Amino acid sequence: MQTSSTMHLHYSSIAQTIAQAFASRGANLIEVATVQPADPFLDVMGEQQRSALFLTESEDQEMLCLRPEFTVPVCLEYIRSGAPNPRRYVYIDKSFCKEPSSRNGLLQAGLVDFGDSDVPTADARSISDAYALVQLMLSGRELVTVIGDQGLFEAVLAALELPRRWQKRLIRASGLRLRSGANCTTVGHPLRSNHLDFVVRDFLARADWTAMTAYVANVMRQGGLSPAAGRTPQEIAARLIETTELANAQVPQSTFDVVNSFLAIRAPLYQAVDEIAGLAKSAGLTLGIAFDNFVRRSEVLARESGPPDQLTYDASFRRHLDHYTGLLFDIRAPGVDRPLASGGRYDRLPKLLGADRPIPAIGLSAFVDQVQLLQGALT
């Protein structure tokens, strides 16, 4: 059994190895405080994730938490520092979340890349960085890299001219197999107007978000419900209006057929380019820069001989957080459910956290404990 001092030395050795390896790749080691303000994480992850955080309060009643991940605080530090573009940071330390259980912390190592406007090249580099990071700890093991692309999926939905509310709901949904009509799809059900009072029906008919919010707040106040007890009046009003618009926007079956055909694409990366191009041509879709970036990223990976093991594109692979904008990827060992490393592009995140300008951003994280668990099983 390892003592705490032995484990500390072991982690220190890993940290030193990773820092040295990625210094040669232009990444600066960054340290992130264990206790962080909670609001930025809730803004990014959503209030529904509050129960997953280890929360406390400061003396002046600021809500604090143990850091559940590193992307948000690294991004905040980059914004505060005013560092020039581009900039790369490498980190290694523990994260703390209730789900999956990590009371003692889960060791993570990762790299965050800010400010590189050459999106396809930065994407390909991030996949190679993640692969190198895992191989640094698990040399010689066969790995499988699964790639998704949030931006490409959004481009398909936009090219199909779906109502914006439908696009947002489809982007957030998972396990999609769609049929026409909002009342028989997995992504929404129409409101029955006879279940709503006439004031609400009037607000919904006019899509008056401000009036609806004020009305919901008043009803909650009269009922003795605190806005902090669950969903806010703004969230309830937005959901009512969104659900009504979904119910009133009928989408033809042929449109859903195209979405389903796209989501069914799963192929080696080189083959996926042709399959996506073929679908776009047959459906008369123009996918613009999202597809151009997809093609260029594939070319960079092929030219640089990227990760030598399997590279698979899965159109249904998504993460359901609004700040993801493009590439998504997982690196796994065959037959192992949990990823050894994950990454993705989140160009919306810096602005969401207060940046005064758009900043291209992509990051990756390797789950060191998971890698070492697999390594132990092999020895």
Q: Could you tell me the CATH number of the domain that includes residue 310?
A: 3.30.930.10
Q: How many domains does the chain have?
A: 2
Shared domain check, 10 and 143? yes
In tens digits, the chain (379 residues) has pLDDT values of 444 444 444 567 777 888 888 888 889 999 999 999 999 999 888 877 888 899 999 888 899 999 999 999 999 999 999 888 899 999 999 999 887 666 678 899 999 999 999 999 999 999 999 998 998 888 778 889 999 999 999 999 999 988 777 777 777 665 454 444 433 344 444 444 444 566 666 666 666 767 777 877 777 777 666 555 556 777 777 767 666 665 556 678 888 899 999 999 999 998 999 999 999 999 999 999 999 999 999 999 888 756 655 789 999 998 877 788 999 999 999 888 889 999 999 999 999 999 999 999 999 999 988 888 887 666 5
Q: Record the pTM.
A: 0.79
> What tokens appear for 188 in the block?
């929404």
Give the relative orientation of helices 119-137 and 4-23 as an angle to the nearest 10 degrees.
Answer: 140
Is 36 a member of any domain?
A: yes
Q: How many CB atoms lie within 10 A of CB 99?
A: 10
Burial, 229: exposed, middle or buried (Cβ in 10 Å; 0-12, 13-18, 19+)?
exposed
233 upstream amide cis, omega within 30 of 0: no
**CA neighbours within 13 Å on the CB side: how many for 15?**
16
Predicted pLDDT of residue 10? 55
Question: What burial letters (b/e) apply to 135-169, b meaning 16+ CB within 10 Å?
Answer: bbbbeebebbbbbbbbbbbbbbbbbbebeebbbbb
Q: CA angle 230-232-236, nearest 5°?
A: 100
Burial, 336: exposed, middle or buried (Cβ in 10 Å; 0-12, 13-18, 19+)?
middle
Is 168 a member of any domain?
A: no
Shared domain check, 193 and 89? no
Please list the residues that pair with 248 across neighbouring strands. none
- Please report, as a single letter, which amino acid is at residue 293: N
Shared domain check, 319 and 235? no
Where in 115-143 does DSSP place strands (E)? none
Shared domain check, 367 and 222? no
Shared domain check, 327 and 191? no
Provide the domain limits for residue 52: 4-156+261-378
Predicted pLDDT of residue 205? 66
Angstrom distance (rounded) from CA 14 to CA 93: 10
Shared domain check, 372 and 277? yes
Cα dihedral across residues 24, 26, 32, 38: positive or negative: negative
Predicted pLDDT of residue 222? 74
Shared domain check, 79 and 8? yes
Is 69 a member of any domain?
A: yes
Is 177 a member of any domain?
A: no
Predicted pLDDT of residue 185? 40
Shared domain check, 283 and 142? yes
Shared domain check, 297 and 152? yes
Shared domain check, 123 and 58? yes
Please list the residues that pair with 57 across neighbouring strands. 63
Torsion of CA 345, 347, 348, 351, to 10 degrees: 140
Angstrom distance (rounded) from CA 30 to CA 180: 50
- Pairing outcome for strands 144-149 and 310-314: parallel
